[in-house]
């Protein structure tokens, strides 16, 4: 019987795992500098948490969620995204009673039942950040700056920052109507998908890739021209700060985010080094969501980074991240084997990476393995060495050799 991993899920192991670890530690480091603290929320939640936040008619909710009844018949869903659970936690734990703004980051697996393709999987990982309790554009700009610093820390290049504002509950209905009016006499020219979009979410027509639709929407009203006074002021304030920070960006008025809860600022970071799924990170404001979830009115903003997409880029530009053991003990005979085992324990207790020979292998094959592992030093212990108490060491990089007293190994300069 041969078992395979399920469609759209993947094992992560060396050498890729080193890239993942590098990304995770960079996130923790950079986000902490901005006052974000880690939060860990469950992978399963009540289904309502997602249907109500993401939107009943979005594709995620309609056909992509892993939803099932638990043994008591409750509807459970594997989280398809991270914002809703964090919002739930924020309210449930009364975190709004802490000084505002409260900032959190998280990292973990998300699940969406989709056909896999490059940069898209059924179980995928996101690093996300959410900040609650401040509506100023300063927070929006801070979030972008943090994302940029994080990406720079990883030496990612050739990334595009796109921003937009999709207004609030006051101005968006007007814009939606203007858009519907504009397309009302063009429906027959739109692709079948856009005909559906026209009914459910006319905003989506704006990012259709069909040529005919692109032509028809050329003179469509732009959301940035339909913002109310407050939203306009917010968007301009946001941009002014980005300019002060020397962050280059483009306004993409056609950028529509897929989740219903977004308000005002939305943004996306894309890379040309990916396939069709080129968004590495994306996010936006969701000033109404906390209140809709039964919390106090609380403006908020967040984003998520697609781990696999990030790793995909890093894999093609990163040098070797693996470092081998500092010491390798090659032994001849049972007594030497035991002796090396005891010395290794002492070194490991000091945090030194030590590897041992196994399985009665010949000295030659032990050295070969040490070389494959990229060990820095090999210590050779046989009967002669045990008798004299002088252990042979060899530097595998420059082939230099020498001897050292068995008791002095923990202080050997090459290991410390």
Partner RNA sequence: GUGAGCGUAGCUCAAUGGUCAGAGCAUUGGACUGUGGCUCCAAGGGCUGGGGGUUCAAGUCCCCUCGCUCACCCCA
φ, ψ of residue 131 to 5 degrees: the values are -125, 130
Among 180, 397, 408, 416, binds RNA (CB under 7 A): 397
Identify the three-state secondary structure at position 126: strand
**Does position 114 bind RNA by CB under 7 A?**
yes
CB of 55 to RNA, least distance (A): 8
* Residue 82 contacts residue 304 (beta carbons within 8 Å): yes
Q: Which residues contact 65 (CB under 8 A, 6 or more apart)?
A: 47, 50, 77, 78, 80, 111, 112, 113
* Residue 284 contacts residue 165 (beta carbons within 8 Å): no
Among 174, 193, 230, 337, binds RNA (CB under 7 A): 193
* Residue 50 contacts residue 65 (beta carbons within 8 Å): yes
Cα angle for residues 149, 155, 161 (degrees, 5° grid): 55
Length of the chain: 416
Among 368, 405, 411, 414, binds RNA (CB under 7 A): 368
**Does position 152 bind RNA by CB under 7 A?**
no
**Does position 316 bind RNA by CB under 7 A?**
no
φ, ψ of residue 101 to 5 degrees: the values are -80, 150
**Does position 224 bind RNA by CB under 7 A?**
no
**Does position 209 bind RNA by CB under 7 A?**
yes
**Does position 46 bind RNA by CB under 7 A?**
no
Identify the three-state secondary structure at position 108: strand
**Does position 151 bind RNA by CB under 7 A?**
no
Identify the three-state secondary structure at position 395: strand
Part of the chain binding RNA (CB under 7 A), chosen from 13-21, 100-108, 224-232, 389-397? 389-397
**Does position 343 bind RNA by CB under 7 A?**
no
Closest CA to 143 of 158, 154, 155, 128: 128
**Does position 163 bind RNA by CB under 7 A?**
no
**Does position 253 bind RNA by CB under 7 A?**
no
| Number of chain residues interacting with RNA (CB under 7 A) | 68
CB of 387 to RNA, least distance (A): 8
CB of 240 to RNA, least distance (A): 25
Among 304, 314, 354, 415, binds RNA (CB under 7 A): 304
Can you tell me which residue has the tokens 């028809």? 216
265 forms beta bridges with 165
Q: In the complex, which residues of this chain contact RNA (CB under 7 A)?
A: 4, 6-8, 58-60, 64, 81, 112, 114-121, 124, 126, 193, 197, 204, 208-210, 256-259, 268, 275-277, 279-283, 304-306, 308-309, 332, 361-365, 367-372, 380-385, 392, 394, 396-397, 399, 401
């Amino acid at each position: 019987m041969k078992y395979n991993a399920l469609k759209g899920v993947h094992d992560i192991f060396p050498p890729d795992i080193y890239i993942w670890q590098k990304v995770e530690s960079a996130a923790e480091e950079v986000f902490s500098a901005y006052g974000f603290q880690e939060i860990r929320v469950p992978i399963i939640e009540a289904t309502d948490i997602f249907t109500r936040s993401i939107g009943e008619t979005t594709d995620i909710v309609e056909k992509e969620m892993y939803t099932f009844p638990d043994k008591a018949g409750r509807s459970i869903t594997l989280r398809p995204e991270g914002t809703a659970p964090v919002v739930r936690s924020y309210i449930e734990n009364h975190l709004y009673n802490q000084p505002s703004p409260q900032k959190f980051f998280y990292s973990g697996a998300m699940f969406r039942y989709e056909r896999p393709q490059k940069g898209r999987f059924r179980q995928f990982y996101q690093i996300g950040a959410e900040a609650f309790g401040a509506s100023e554009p300063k927070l929006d700009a801070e979030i972008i700056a943090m994302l940029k610093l994080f990406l720079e820390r990883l030496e990612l290049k050739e990334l595009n920052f796109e921003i937009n504002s999709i207004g609030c509950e006051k101005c968006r209905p007007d814009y939606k109507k203007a858009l519907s009016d504009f397309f009302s006499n063009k429906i027959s020219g739109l692709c079948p998908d856009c005909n559906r979009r026209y009914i459910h979410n006319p905003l989506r027509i704006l990012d259709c890739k069909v040529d005919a639709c692109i032509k028809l929407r050329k003179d469509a009203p732009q959301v940035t021209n339909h913002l109310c006074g407050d939203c306009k002021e917010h968007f301009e304030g946001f941009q002014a700060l980005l300019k002060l920070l020397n962050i280059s960006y483009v306004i993409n008025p056609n950028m529509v985010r897929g989740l219903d809860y977004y308000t005002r600022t939305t943004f996306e970071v894309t890379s040309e080094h990916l396939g069709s799924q080129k968004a590495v990170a994306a996010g936006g404001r969701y000033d109404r969501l906390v209140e809709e979830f039964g919390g106090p009115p609380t403006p908020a903003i967040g984003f998520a980074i697609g781990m696999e997409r990030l790793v995909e880029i890093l894999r093609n530009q990163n040098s070797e991240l693996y470092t081998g053991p500092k010491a390798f003990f090659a032994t001849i005979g049972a007594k030497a084997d035991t002796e090396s085992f005891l010395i290794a324990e002492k070194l490991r207790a000091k945090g030194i990476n030590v590897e041992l020979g196994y399985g009665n292998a010949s000295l030659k094959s032990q050295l070969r393995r040490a070389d494959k592992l990229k060990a820095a030093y090999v210590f050779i212990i046989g009967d002669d060495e045990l008798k004299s108490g002088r252990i042979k060491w060899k530097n595998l990089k420059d082939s230099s050799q020498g001897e050292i007293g068995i008791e002095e190994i923990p202080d050997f300069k090459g290991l410390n």
